[in-house]
A and B are shown apart, each in its own frame.
Chain A
């Protein structure tokens, strides 16, 4: 896959997502169109059930749209197989989950090394990169602690280190501060902003809190399965 620097990083065209079938069918996305350029820091907001997580799953290549097109780096993701999408995730994406999803009884270092393991990096390189990522999120000295020995904010920072250790093109964060108090939340936002500004990582973040969304350069507001409002002047040209 060649990176097309001229076009948008992400382009959604008439994306719908229907869960279930027949009587029980539920349309969570009802036709979503937007573009995101490389280097943006986008907040996704909207009431509960409006389809934010659904669109994040599609953007993260974890799921495919029921109809419509999703172009990531110019690639039609909706046509890719399960394993091809896995490889896209491996090489271009980083995830930060609300529930952290760190491996239990596994040290911070080992958790952060995990994506590098799947990239097939040798041990020494894995260690070096994982340490660098942990340094970047301010966890120097905590490498050998397991999640149970870390605070919520520290766990979330380990999760962020794991998401960025591969230098992903796109970082997806679904309510990264949902479990944290406001002080920790601000730390995380500073971190994400820094990654976006200094490392050029495109960040897409779901949040319920306007204070958090304020850190982003653009806000997509979802309502009932469609994008109700987009603060950006940069709109995908159809």
Chain B
């Protein structure tokens, strides 16, 4: 019987294909919106996860000032010094290696080409801590760091801007009135979780940076510290130990709040993906409203259909259809209609989310579960909103229905 009802329902939809398509528009949009949002959200989350893990999964970052939200510091705060690094390495055995960075935007040029990029002074452990590989050449070593040699390593974006095609290794680039020999190029990493180009960078030994690039007042300053935690050691514990150590070194009284902040990459990832989750939930709610509107549309068209087909219903009842069979027929019709909308919505969502992820440079992460769920929900909407019209049809008096004009 249900099979027959389904055949009847499909026949009815085929007959009024245009009307059926318009009726289910709300459902199509709702389903498409839900799936697209979730797909984009998944893509964004996957990208954030990938970016954060590209930083290194066991990374702890120390920045000046109090943290307002991930990666954002507020108010004036003292900078770090090189001996802070040494103290951390000595006091906290769980830290495998540590590096610090200080940076200043500069115009960098090679022959006629030039670009504006952050010049970063750092230590030789930078690639190890920050999980960087070299595409060519090498990183500077301890000797060059101590001697304050004027050597530098380029990020891929800078290499592209200054050297088209030719290898930069051994060439000299100029910035801030000094020249610097290129000894290596970093392998590209792409955008950071905050949307910055991580490859737009020139790295040089901290000593050389402090002497020749840093401003007069900030000569000894280090902007932020990056610590790499030994495998198997808890980054959370390191965060606590570093906090305690820095408070002690800065002689902060118990009633004073931190004038620095310590966090691990997991926290960044969590904060960023919770933002994405909130956004997804919000848009999901909008989509739910659209589904509700779609359901009301179905109820409306089914009521119209029951009125239009009163004589047909009368005929069926006269022929011997049971109340439950007429109910089932219209219910199945409503469900077929809404599921049809669900399928259209899924198709639309696949096209839209593929296009959007391509345009937004996000990975296209397909979530089959959410598609099945959306389909089930759209079918459920058919049951829910089809019930009242179906019951009205089933309860018609056959004699009056037959007489209906």
Which residues does A use to contact B, with CB under 8 Å? 57, 60, 62-63, 82-83, 86-91, 93, 95, 97, 99, 101-105, 114-115, 117-120, 162
Which residues does B use to contact A, with CB under 8 Å? 1, 4, 15, 311-312, 314-325, 398-399, 402
Contact between chains at B1 and A86 (CB < 8 Å): no
Shortest Cβ gap from B276 to chain A (Å): 50
Contact between chains at B314 and A86 (CB < 8 Å): no
Contact between chains at B399 and A63 (CB < 8 Å): yes
Contact between chains at B15 and A105 (CB < 8 Å): yes
Contact between chains at B320 and A115 (CB < 8 Å): yes
A114 to B325, CA, bound (A): 13
Return the chain A residue nearest B308 by Cβ: A104
Shortest Cβ gap from A20 to chain B (Å): 14
Shortest Cβ gap from A98 to chain B (Å): 10
Partner of A118, one of B15, B325, B399: B325
Shortest Cβ gap from B382 to chain A (Å): 22
* With A105-B15, A118-B321: A97-B402 Cβ-Cβ less than 8 Å: yes
* With A62-B399, A63-B399, A97-B402: A90-B319 Cβ-Cβ less than 8 Å: yes
Shortest Cβ gap from A42 to chain B (Å): 20
Contact between chains at B311 and A86 (CB < 8 Å): no
A83 to B314, CA, bound (A): 14
A89 to B318, CA, bound (A): 7
List the B side residues contacting A118 at CB < 8 Å: 316, 319-321, 325
List the B side residues contacting A117 at CB < 8 Å: 4
* With A62-B399, A63-B399, A117-B4: A89-B322 Cβ-Cβ less than 8 Å: no
A118 to B324, CA, bound (A): 12
List the A side residues contacting B320 at CB < 8 Å: 86-91, 93, 115, 118-119
Return the chain A residue nearest B398 by Cβ: A62
Return the chain B residue nearest A119 by Cβ: B320
Shortest Cβ gap from A57 to chain B (Å): 5
List the A side residues contacting B316 at CB < 8 Å: 114, 118
Contact between chains at B402 and A83 (CB < 8 Å): no
Return the chain A residue nearest B321 by Cβ: A118
List the A side residues contacting B321 at CB < 8 Å: 86, 90, 118
A98 to B321, CA, bound (A): 20
